[in-house]
Amino acid sequence: MTIKYFYTIALIGFFLLNSCNKNQSKYSENLVFRYNEYANINTLDPAFSRTLQDNSINNQLYNGLVQLDDALNIEPCIAKNWTISGDAITYTFNLRNDVFFHKHPLFGKDSTRLVVAKDFEYSLNRLRDKKVAASGSWVLNKVHDFKAVNDTIFQIELKQPFPAFIGLLTMKYCSVVPKEIVEHYGIDFRSTPIGTGPFKFKRWEENIKLVLRKNENYFEKDSVGNTLPYLEAVSLTFLPDKQSEFLQFAQGNIDFVSGLDASYKDELLTSTGKLRDQYHETVNMIRGPYLNTEYLGFYLDSETPEIQSKLVRKAINYGFNRKKMMLYLNNGVGNPANGGFIPIGLAGYDKSNGFTYQPEKAKQLVEQFKNESGITNPEITLVTTSNYLSFCEFIQRELEKVGLTINVDVMPEASLRSARSNGKVDMFRSSWIADYLDAENYLSIFYSKNFAPNGSNYFHFKNKTVDSLYNKAFTITNIEERKILYKTIDSIAMNNAIMVPLFYDEVIRFTRKNVKGLGINPINLLDLRQVRKD
């Protein structure tokens, strides 16, 4: 980094953060949680909350029927309890009677009102309204109907048993929103949100800053009865890259950084993933499993012989050392994916489903392909984004040793996403982060009726046994029985080598020493309810 660039970024950060601090001058610095969102925020409307960044900010603004704790257990939220009918079709939720929307003049005299079951009826109807075209509408695909029985009882009826359904309801898509506010603002609700969450909306200057303030009427309390949240405000900036973000963190201008980026990983961590000595007195590091599988995928309908060949696809899986890759390129953060597609932490993960490092076996498979096809110099183009270029170049060098030529192309994220969905790339780098806490979420990517671009089966993989077992899993409520089916589906996909699992990611968070109570969870969702600053 040049000195000129360093000072330019530092000055931009200073002015942006100083501008935010002027708006928060009424509060002590220790009551404002400051962080940067380099990937930006798309919306404050939960029905369209697709990205991790959107979900993390909307998690401060909204609540649903149920929620997750840091161990991903499903807990009560606005629903204080619920029952499931014997046939696993009908879910009945009993609501709290002390949850109020954030204040707004449209509510009339009291500037707020109680949340009732009709609000959930409205919110879910809006979610599946084709005119709204909400990106979260898919979560209701297996729902037949729902209704408010009275003010405090809400009922959902499924089309068929779906054991993972209660987990879907924890997603921000299913948050409750007030009809009168949403209909007043229309599409502008995305930037003028009213929810029930621990923080309420104050100000959003897109691409510059976003400010939330404490919701004084929030209904949840801590374990000893103190009202949540503890903080008075949350302040976001939008510096556009991770390097700038880290500079602000190192200078003490923001309180929190999530994830490990190549631009600063060696500055913060040793080669074995330990926090460097110079940061011990100012920085805390917390890390844990992340329900995220990073992988390379093959488009099986490609006309390229190397892609069509299971021999080559298996050779790629055997041909590089995942453990070495994680140690040298990611400072040991993340677990080598020697199992299948289902990550560590989900029922169905099996370390025996995947591939180990066997370079001699990879060479034999490549030679077999050459002999059978007559292609003497097998060659494949792998498309990635710049963030993962170093991983792909490592694999490129390793596979060259076993007789495979890999050409690495770099695309912007949006372009690669489109190309992948439309079958325009033979081999691509991608990731799959759990939307909900059931391995079915991962295995849907193998189901033949989910062919991209209308679904997530980017490989165009079709297998009758997989389809049959996938459908059967919906009828089984016992998790141990479902786990057997999940392992079998995963093993069939791996045996066909339709992808190359790279690693199971880890959540890693860095905070200033004065930040207390910021936990960690396997979906990396930010929860600021119990955060304090000393």
Express each pLDDT in 328-340 by its tens digit.
999 899 999 999 9
The pLDDT of residue 325 is above 90: yes
Neighbour tally for 18: CB within 10 Å: 10
Query: Quick one: pLDDT at residue 20?
Result: 47
Q: Are 173 and 127 in contact (CB under 8 A)?
A: yes
The pLDDT of residue 23 is above 70: no
User: Which pair of structure tokens corresponds to residue 380?
Assistant: 């494949």
Q: Are 277 and 335 in contact (CB under 8 A)?
A: no
Output DSSP code: residue 140.
G
The pLDDT of residue 475 is above 90: no
> Alpha-carbon distance 125 to 133, whole Å?
11
Return phi, psi of residue 173, to 5°.
-50, -35
Mean pLDDT of 514-524: 92
Q: Are 509 and 287 in contact (CB under 8 A)?
A: yes
Q: Are 378 and 369 in contact (CB under 8 A)?
A: yes
The pLDDT of residue 14 is above 70: no
User: Which pair of structure tokens corresponds to residue 193?
Assistant: 């949100």
Mean pLDDT of 158-177: 92
User: In which element (H, E) is residue 327 found?
Assistant: helix 322-330
Query: Quick one: pLDDT at residue 242?
Result: 87
Query: Quick one: pLDDT at residue 289?
Result: 86
Query: Quick one: pLDDT at residue 275?
Result: 93
Single-letter code of the amino acid located at 376 = T
pLDDT tens profile 207-242: 999 999 999 999 999 999 999 999 999 999 999 888
pLDDT category of residue 59 using cuts at 50, 70 and 90:
very high
Neighbour tally for 170: CB within 10 Å: 22
How far from chain centre, in Å, is Cα 388? Answer: 17
pLDDT above 90 covers a percentage of the chain that reads: 78
> Alpha-carbon distance 173 to 50, whole Å?
8
Q: Cα dihedral sign for 358, 361, 367, 371? A: negative
Query: Quick one: pLDDT at residue 384?
Result: 96
Three-class secondary structure of residue 223 per DSSP: coil
pLDDT category of residue 72 using cuts at 50, 70 and 90:
confident
In angstroms, what CA-CA distances link 304 with 55, 160, 427, 527? 39, 41, 10, 46
- The three-point CA angle 388-389-392 to 5° equals 90
pLDDT category of residue 22 using cuts at 50, 70 and 90:
very low
Cα dihedral 432, 172, 155, 447, rounded to 10, equals -20
Cα dihedral 323, 304, 451, 468, rounded to 10, equals -70
Query: Quick one: pLDDT at residue 27?
Result: 55
Q: Are 209 and 511 in contact (CB under 8 A)?
A: no
Single-letter code of the amino acid located at 457 = N
Query: Quick one: pLDDT at residue 303?
Result: 95
Q: Cα dihedral sign for 214, 55, 388, 443? A: positive
> Alpha-carbon distance 383 to 325, whole Å?
18
- Per-chain mean pLDDT for the chain: 91
Cis amide bond preceding 229, omega within 30 = yes
pLDDT tens profile 244-281: 999 999 999 999 999 888 888 899 999 888 999 999 99
Single-letter code of the amino acid located at 74 = I
The pLDDT of residue 162 is above 90: no
The pLDDT of residue 28 is above 80: no
Query: Quick one: pLDDT at residue 518?
Result: 95
Place of tokens 């499903």: 74
Closest CA relative to residue 432, chosen from 498, 503, 383: 503
Neighbour tally for 216: CB within 10 Å: 9
Closest CA relative to residue 525, chosen from 119, 64, 13: 64
Return phi, psi of residue 274, to 5°.
-95, 150
Burial status of residue 311 (CB atoms within 10 A of its CB: 0-12, 13-18, 19 or more)? buried
- The three-point CA angle 382-386-387 to 5° equals 110
Closest CA relative to residue 71, chosen from 482, 406, 523, 467: 523
Neighbour tally for 23: CB within 10 Å: 15
Listed range (7-21, 124-138, 422-436) with the worst mean pLDDT: 7-21
Mean pLDDT of 307-332: 96
